[in-house]
Amino acid sequence: MQPRIVPTGQHISNLNDHKNIVSNSARRLEVLRNCINCIFENKISDARKTFPAVLRALKSKQARLALCNELSQHVIGNKAMLEHQQFDLVVRLMNCALQDDSSMDEHGVAAALLPLATAFCRKLCTGVIQFAYTCIQEHAVWQNQQFWEAAFYLDVQKDIKALYLPRLDSISPRLGTDHILATPTSPRDSKDFAWQNRRSVISRVQEPSALEIAAEQMRLWSSVDSEKQKELITSEESTLYSQAIHYANRMVSLLIPLDIGNRLHKQDHSLDEERASNSIANRYVV
C-alpha cells in the first residue's frame, strides 16, 4: 500500500478567525505600527501621544501578534541597543502583550517575544548592559513547562525544515508545489489581504510542515546512501543539542531573577519572623 500524507488542520489560534480584520481593527494596527516606528526613530513625544491607544489595542490577539512582528523588524543581528526612553516604552509594550495573553500562550505571543527579550537592551553604565528579559520575568507563562516544551520543539522544527527543505525540493518537488488559496496568516497579511486584494484571490506555495517533511524523508530514506544518512543524522542531532543549550540559557534568563539573593534573604527573614511569632504565641497557650 502506498503511504499517504494526511494534511494538517488549522492552528488553534486560527479557529475563531471567521472574518477578515475590519477597518476599525486595521486602523488600530496602523496606529500601533506608527507608534513603534516613532519609538525607534527616537520621536518619544510623538510615540507617547498614541501610546495609550496602543496599550488598549493590545487587548486583541491580532494586535499582540502585530507587535511581535513590528518589534522583530527593528532587530539587526543578535542585539538592539536602545536609549533609556526607548527601552522603557518597548518593555512596557512587551509586558502589556504578555499580561493580556494566557499562560498557555495559545497564540504564540510569548514564544515570539522570547528572542526579542534577549535582543533589546540598554547601556546602564560602562560595562553594564540591561536586557529586556530582566523586566518581563513576572509573567505566569514563564512558569509553564508546557510553554517551554512547545516553544523548544517549534524552533527545532523550524531548523529541521531548513535542513531538509532544499533537499526535498530537488528530490521530491511535489512537496513544495501544492497551491492553496491565499489566507491571511498575520495581522499585516490580514490588513493587506482585506484592503489591497479584495477583488482577487492569489495562489501561493504552501510550505510543508515538519510532519510532512518527516513523512517524505521516511519514504525516501531507503534510497539515501549510508554516508548521506550519517550526515543527516549528525545534522539533526547538532540542531537538537544547540537548541537545547539555547533554551537552557533562555530559561535561566527568564526564570532566575537578578536579585535572587535578596529575595531569598527576604523569604528567610519572613520565615524567621513567622517562627518567632508562632513561638511567642505557643508560650501563652494554656
> pLDDT per residue over 5-55, tens digit each?
666 665 555 544 444 444 567 888 999 999 999 999 999 999 999 999 999
What is residue 28's predicted lDDT score, i.e. its pLDDT? Answer: 87
Sort strands 120-125 and 80-82 into parallel, antiparallel or unpaired: parallel
| Percent of the chain scoring above 70 in pLDDT | 68
Q: Is the pLDDT of residue 209 over 70?
A: yes
Ranges of each domain in the chain:
25-143, 145-164+208-273
| Percent of the chain scoring above 90 in pLDDT | 45
What is residue 281's predicted lDDT score, i.e. its pLDDT? Answer: 42
The span from the CA of 20 to the CA of 195, in Å, is 10
Sign, CA torsion 130/136/137/141: negative
User: What is the reported pTM?
Assistant: 0.70
The span from the CA of 27 to the CA of 30, in Å, is 5
Q: Is the pLDDT of residue 165 over 50?
A: yes
What is residue 200's predicted lDDT score, i.e. its pLDDT? Answer: 36
What is residue 85's predicted lDDT score, i.e. its pLDDT? Answer: 95
What is residue 95's predicted lDDT score, i.e. its pLDDT? Answer: 95
Across 51-60, 110-119, 186-195, least confident range: 186-195
- The 3-state DSSP class for residue 5 equals coil
CB 186, CB 26: distance < 8 Å: no
For residue range 106-152, what is the model confidence (pLDDT) as tens digits? 888 999 999 999 999 999 998 899 999 999 999 999 999 999 999 99
Which of 55-64, 189-198, 272-281: highest mean pLDDT?
55-64
What Cα–Cα distance (Å) separates residue 141 from each residue in 63, 96, 189, 235?
19, 13, 27, 31
